[in-house]
Structure 1
Amino acid sequence: MPENPYLTRVRTLSDRLVAIQKPIQILDAIKWPNHIQETFFATGEKELPKIDREFYKQQALSFDDQKVYGELLELRRDIKRQLGNKDGLGRILLDTVDQYLVVIDMLRHRGEPLFGESSIRLYGSAHEKLRGDRKTLREVGERLCAIFSSPAVEHLKRPYANDIPACQAVDLLARKLHTYFNEGDIKVMLSNGIVSDAAAGGDTIKLNESAMFSELDLQVLEVHEGWVHVGTTYNGRAQPYATWLGVGSPRITANQEGLAVLMETLTFSSFPIRARRISDRVTAVAMAEEGANFIEVYNHFREKGISRHDSYRVTQRVFRGGMVEGGAVFTKDISYVKGFVENVNFIKSAIESGVPEILPMMFVGKVTLDDIPILYQHYLEGTIAAPQYLPPMFRDLNGLFVWFGLSSGMSLVDMGSVKRHYRKLFDKLPKTAPLFEASADIEIN
């Protein structure tokens, strides 16, 4: 059959975008060396880290920003000329190119106020309202922090110790993932160059070689990094024309991280400390945006009883690339809570609107929720390929439909009145240990 000129243009423009953005490494450009943490603790946690504009100037970018910026502008002109502003796939491409232009502006201003302004354009602010709601992200984050730091959490603790060294965790996690992915499609490896305990990139999951893991951690990594981050990468790479769906720009971060947290929840892999850690990130971003400096944010978490290591980690994530004095920070960490809420609302809305069949498209690649109706239409036309790697509850939608259908129906209930009713009963309960104690002898399969 003769080639479709439109699809040829989409594929050519998409491939150009994939190639142009490849050398842009945001997290690599803003990372802090390990000695910054060591110095902070050695000086009694009283001195701001020695990170400023001059520090970042000495950390060269991994790409020629002038050259890449020019290539993006040229690609933008070609997309508008060849696809036009009214074409659905063309609009997604244009939005993605525009995001990378802002990324370059952000990285050019590391350690400066403009870094924070660009970060908000890319990832949003902790003070913005959720899509279609009156609540701000900070309000939601604070509410979640209160829930996941309540005394009741102590009653749920089980003896899942962090006693699995990274070298062993690599093999255990690889074994788990090989039941979901085709053989050879995913790699799990050690790394000494990541800030977090684990990170996914392309078809690889990296574990921090100095970290220790629990069985619960590995369950989270299996669905969060594996099923979502790597799975959507492969689904995007398998696209015959929209090849940009295999790479992620900041515009898709909230959807990706929110979907990953949602999968942790749907598979009962998460746990209160993990949920608290994610909620704390919103508070950290909000405080830093309001002008709190590194030490003030760090001390806030120490006063909440969080360890030195974890308090430093959540604070460092927010201030990397920005100003340790506060005001201009890296706001990406609001994406987990923001994306979770928006993904749940999207699923509920799709079910209530009678179009649950679009839900598997959440895994078709690196997408935003606004992209999905456009991509679904092109899927029906044969332009977009169905996702190959799809979690079981999204492959057979019956259980998902019932779960979120019931959840939507429950929204009619006056929970304030219900809680007041049950509180009278709960207040009479003695403060005891959990009914069931988990065995201390846990076998890791």
Structure 2
Amino acid sequence: MYLEHLRQLSDRLVAIQKPIMILDAIKWPAQVQTEFLEGKGKALPNIDQAFYAQQALRFAPDVVREELKTLRSDICRLLGGTDGLGRILLQNIEQYLLVIDMLEGRGTKAFGVCSQALYGSATDKMRGDKKTLLELSERLCRTFSSAAAEHLKRPYGNDIPAEKAVEMLSAKLNAYFNEGDIRVQLSNGIVSDAAAGGDVIKLNERAYFSELDLQVLEVHEGWVHVGTTLNGRRQPYATWLGVGSPRITAHQEGLAVLMETLTFSSFPQRARRVSDRVVAISLAEDGADFVEVYRHFIDKGLSEHDSYRVTQRVFRGGCVEGGSVFTKDLSYIKGFVENVNFIKSAIESGVPEILPMMFVGKVTLDDLPILYERYLEGVIAAPDYLPPMFRDLNGLFVWFGFSSGMSLVNLGRVQAHYSDVFAKLPHTTPVYTTQIMTEF
């Protein structure tokens, strides 16, 4: 009877949350970018509360709110207040209730308050550490925009049109997924260059891509976002693992960035883009308006296109005058650090076998212990789609085992030792070979 109740309650949550589409509810028309750049980035975009009021939500907030509250009561009654899986269901419900409040507050200060409650603030400290997300991101921005990063930049171009990119990315992903499990298609309704939803990866029909971009999309959108969705959908009872409330965003985005790193798919300019987003959020949280944040990145050397994109991601849903912003993009850095620390801790604690559960569905790190226990009991199914390093944990264990050991080394002293050696090297321009340029 417990498993029957779990499946029924889980299915109800999946159905209730389906029309709650956050990014769709806060998206801006493409012409906003065109008008802003044609105006030399001097005038605030004409986006306010009235604009959002004209963009009707795909659900009736009061109706969905009551459905969630009724489901909350039924979970407590049927599963009890101490059941671990029931608690995860309840936490997701609380998140969706807050999402409804956030979307009702589009274009107002209330939107930013709810966003911070859901995703956090740039001033939040890292879990178990004294450093803030902003401090870490500023350090990463310096690293990924350093002379060394520029020295490594390869002269590749974004010369692959979206239609060709769809074909190439499909070929890559068909080698990882079963036939028919994933689709790559063109879209004219997304602001970013690419986005994943369910079993579909959408590429912006106006965008151009490089081969490095496609490497990132393969593991970030494919292996992680779509892979965990499909793993969650195949659960026999905990079907909510196939959908995600904001509470899982940090794990999802951090895991995606981690996979970019472990597969050597990322590159300094991509990593800087992730760090820049935290800086943009901090500036906007402190009251900088859209133009001021945009000008900050122009002054840092970003192109007009990239400066607009990083700024627009932060201000969508909030107030272009600043102070109320969308803080979801904190999740990339926050989640990356937390996932790395979780893997190290699992290895140090002698339970590396829990690590494949990171891909079991849309989860948080706090969910994994109870999900692993229920996996051992046969309630939770093992993930079907797993990256190779998580399917055979030997290499991952060694990699992070060495990483943990290296934390004992005083890096400052090591750098001081080698700085004298490196200072004597002749200054050269990067040297590339044809083989380096064509192998991906």
Q: TM-score, normalised by structure 2?
A: 0.98
| 1:442 Cα offset (Å) | 5.4
* Count of aligned pairs: 440
1:153-175 CA distances to partner (integer Å, 9 max, x unpaired)? 22212132111000000000000
- Confirm or deny that 1:365 pairs with 2:361: yes
State which of 430, 433, 438 in structure 2 corresponds to 1:438.
433
Match of 2:74 in 1: 78
CA distance in 1, matches of 2:319, 2:351: 45
Letter in 1 for 2:265: S
State which of 53, 56, 60 in structure 2 corresponds to 1:60.
56
Match of 1:401 in 2: 397
Letter in 1 for 2:19: P
CA distance in 2, matches of 1:189, 1:440: 31
State which of 292, 296, 299 in structure 2 corresponds to 1:296.
292
Unaligned runs of 5+ in 2: none
| 1:74 Cα offset (Å) | 0.5
Match of 1:194 in 2: 190
1:385-418 CA distances to partner (integer Å, 9 max, x unpaired)? 0000000000000000000010001111111111
CA contact (8 A) 1:239 1:245 kept: yes
| 1:43 Cα offset (Å) | 1.9
| 1:438 Cα offset (Å) | 3.4
CA distance in 1, matches of 2:423, 2:380: 55
Letter in 1 for 2:369: P
1:104-141 CA distances to partner (integer Å, 9 max, x unpaired)? 00000001111001001111111100111110000000
CA distance in 2, matches of 1:149, 1:12: 51
Q: Indicate the SS of the match to 1:236.
A: helix
| 1:444 Cα offset (Å) | 8.2
Letter in 1 for 2:434: S
| 1:439 Cα offset (Å) | 2.4
State which of 376, 379, 396 in structure 1 corresponds to 2:375.
379
Q: Indicate the SS of the match to 1:370.
A: helix
| 1:82 Cα offset (Å) | 1.1
CA distance in 2, matches of 1:42, 1:109: 30
Q: Indicate the SS of the match to 1:346.
A: helix
CA distance in 1, matches of 2:422, 2:64: 61
CA contact (8 A) 1:158 1:438 kept: no
1:162-241, aligned counterparts within 5 Å?
162-241=158-237
CA distance in 1, matches of 2:40, 2:141: 27
State which of 117, 121, 124 in structure 2 corresponds to 1:125.
121
- In the TM superposition, structure 1's runs of 4+ consecutive aligned residues that sit over 3 Å from their partners are 440-445
Match of 1:428 in 2: 424
CA contact (8 A) 1:159 1:440 kept: no
CA distance in 2, matches of 1:197, 1:110: 24
| Identity across the alignment (%) | 72
Q: Indicate the SS of the match to 2:240.
A: helix
- Confirm or deny that 1:19 pairs with 2:15: yes
Match of 2:86 in 1: 90
CA distance in 2, matches of 1:263, 1:441: 22
Q: For the aligned residues, what is the CA RMSD?
A: 1.2
CA distance in 2, matches of 1:332, 1:223: 20
- Confirm or deny that 1:137 pairs with 2:133: yes
State which of 242, 248, 270 in structure 2 corresponds to 1:246.
242
| 1:7 Cα offset (Å) | 0.6
- Confirm or deny that 1:110 pairs with 2:100: no
CA distance in 1, matches of 2:176, 2:425: 44
CA distance in 1, matches of 2:147, 2:405: 30
CA distance in 2, matches of 1:236, 1:44: 46
1:289-368, aligned counterparts within 5 Å?
289-368=285-364
Letter in 2 for 1:438: T
| 1:85 Cα offset (Å) | 1.9
CA distance in 2, matches of 1:243, 1:158: 44
Q: Indicate the SS of the match to 2:365.
A: coil
CA contact (8 A) 1:254 1:336 kept: yes
CA distance in 1, matches of 2:412, 2:241: 43
Against the structure 1 CA distance between its residues 157 and 440, is the aligned structure 2 distance closer, same or farther, given a 3 Å change threshold?
Answer: farther
CA distance in 1, matches of 2:7, 2:330: 33
State which of 39, 45, 48 in structure 2 corresponds to 1:49.
45
CA distance in 2, matches of 1:171, 1:40: 32
CA distance in 2, matches of 1:413, 1:336: 27
Match of 1:266 in 2: 262
CA distance in 2, matches of 1:276, 1:169: 23
Letter in 2 for 1:275: A
State which of 258, 278, 282 in structure 1 corresponds to 2:278.
282
Q: Indicate the SS of the match to 2:195.
A: strand
CA distance in 2, matches of 1:401, 1:160: 34
State which of 8, 16, 23 in structure 1 corresponds to 2:4.
8
